[in-house]
Amino acid sequence: MRIALTGLLLAATLAGCANLCSPPALAPKPDRAVLEKQVADTERAFAKTMADRDHAAFTSFLSEEAVFFSGPQPLRGKQAVADGWKRLYEKPAAPFSWKPDRVEALDSGTLALSTGPVFDPTGKCVGRFTSIWRQEAPGTWRIVFDKGGPCDEQ
Q: Structural domain boundaries of the chain?
A: 31-149
Q: Which regions of the chain are under pLDDT 70?
A: 1-27, 153-154
Please give the pLDDT value at position 24: 53
Domain 31-149 has CATH 3.10.450.50: yes
Please give the pLDDT value at position 66: 98
Picking from 154, 122, 135, 137, the residue whose alpha carbon sits closest to that of residue 36 is 135
Contact 58/49 with Cβ under 8 angstroms? Answer: yes
Please give the pLDDT value at position 28: 73
Please give the pLDDT value at position 71: 87
Please give the pLDDT value at position 70: 87
pTM for this entry: 0.80
Measure the CA–CA gap between 131 and 148, rounded to whole angstroms: 9
Please give the pLDDT value at position 11: 45
Measure the CA–CA gap between 111 and 132, rounded to whole angstroms: 7
Measure the CA–CA gap between 131 and 128, rounded to whole angstroms: 10
According to DSSP H, which parts of the chain are helical? Answer: 2-21, 32-51, 55-60, 78-85
